Amino acid sequence: MYIAPSLLAADFSCFAQEVEKAATADYLHIDIMDGRFVPNLSMGPQVVEALRGKSRLVFDVHLMLEHPLPYVEVFRKAGADRITFHVECADNPAQVIEAILASGAKAGMAVKPATPAEALLPYGERLSQVTVMTVEPGFGGQSLIPEALKKIKAIKEAFSHLLVEIDGGVNRETLPLCREAGADVLVAGTAIFRAEDPAAEIAFLRGE
Ligand code: DX5
Ligand code: ZN
């Protein structure tokens, strides 16, 4: 199980110190919001670029953007290793995937809780990762929606090469559900950055 602390729950006044709390994890999950696709704003490529020199983790950039296409290259240049965008976005998903692959990043696609697994079928072959949202995207600290986990099985059956990431409401209590559902990557914001001992939390979620 790979662990991806979500920077959205970090202390925004000191990102450089906060990323040290995630040092024993696998990915750093970075949520990018445009105030249109989701009703919130978060951070931009400058933050990704500023942190690139401070962390050796895989930068897992989650684009919650209505129009991700013009930003693929921007985030790749800023230091993204994996770029995930939403199947529900307003751009042509196939085109966005090709732009991500052309940039040299690994491509991921995310699905909102109500979007069925079938929406991914035309694209799965070209992807490395699928992010199953277990909360409505836009905010950290929400409760996991268990029904959203059901689609993981169908995704894995259709594409055995894909890593499935679970994003939203992952913590010690919901960990068994996530494991059972077949998750490969766990995103956790609140559970890790608000913990007294983030390294212990990372180890616990990983099953150590
Ligand atoms: C929600 C974001 C999540 C969020 C998870 O739109 O995509 O990555 O930071 O936060 P927690 O772990 O607090 O639910
Ligand atoms: Zn996210």
Q: How confident is the model at residue 172, as a pLDDT?
A: 98
Burial of 67 (0-12, 13-18, 19+ CB in 10 A): middle
Half-sphere exposure of 128 (CA within 13 A, CB side): 13
* Cβ < 6 A, ligand 1 pocket: 6, 8-9, 29, 31, 62, 135, 137-138, 140-142, 167-170, 187-191
Task: Please identify, by atom number, the ligand 1 atom nearest to the C-alpha of residue 190.
Answer: 13
- Give residue 166 CA to ligand 2 midpoint distance, Å: 9
**Interval 51-103: pLDDT, tens:** 999 999 999 999 999 999 999 999 999 999 999 999 999 999 999 999 999 99
Residues labelled as active-site residues: 31, 167
Domain holding 187, by residue range, is 2-206
The pLDDT of residue 72 is 99
The mean pLDDT value for 16-20 works out to 98
CATH number at residue 87: 3.20.20.70
**pLDDT value of position 40:** 98
Q: How confident is the model at residue 112 (pLDDT cuts 50, 70, 90)?
A: very high
d(CA 104, CA 86): 19
**Percentage of the residues of the chain whose pLDDT score is greater than 70:** 100
Query: In a 10 Å sphere around its CB, with 0-12 CB exposed, 13-18 middle and 19+ buried, how is residue 53 labelled?
Result: exposed
With contact defined as beta carbons under 8 Å apart, do 18 and 7 qualify?
Answer: yes
The set of residues, in sequence order, having a beta carbon less than 8 Å from that of 13 and lying 6+ positions away, is none
Query: How many domains, the chain?
Result: 1
CA of 103 to the centre of ligand 1 (A): 26
C-alpha 8 – ligand 1 centre gap (Å) = 7
Confidence (pLDDT) at 173: 98
Bridge-based pairing of strands 2-5 and 27-33 is unpaired
Confirm if 75 and 99 have CB atoms less than 8 A apart.
no
For residues 137 and 200, what is the distance between their CA atoms, to the nearest angstrom? 27
**Which amino acid, one-letter code, is at 88?**
E
For residue 32, what pLDDT is reported?
99
Kind of pairing, strands 129-133 and 185-188? unpaired
The span from the CA of 124 to the CA of 149, in Å, is 18
Cα separation, 79 vs 93, in Å, equals 22
Q: In this predicted structure, what is the pLDDT of residue 138? A: 98
DSSP code at position 42:
-
Extended strands (E) in the chain: 2-5, 27-33, 58-64, 82-86, 106-111, 129-133, 163-167, 185-188
What confidence score (pLDDT) does residue 97 get? 98
Ligand nearest to the backbone CA of 40: 1
| pLDDT at residue 84, as a whole number | 99
Taking only the tens place, the pLDDT of each residue in 118-175 is: 999 999 999 999 999 999 999 999 999 999 999 999 999 999 999 999 999 999 999 9
d(CA 174, CA 141): 13
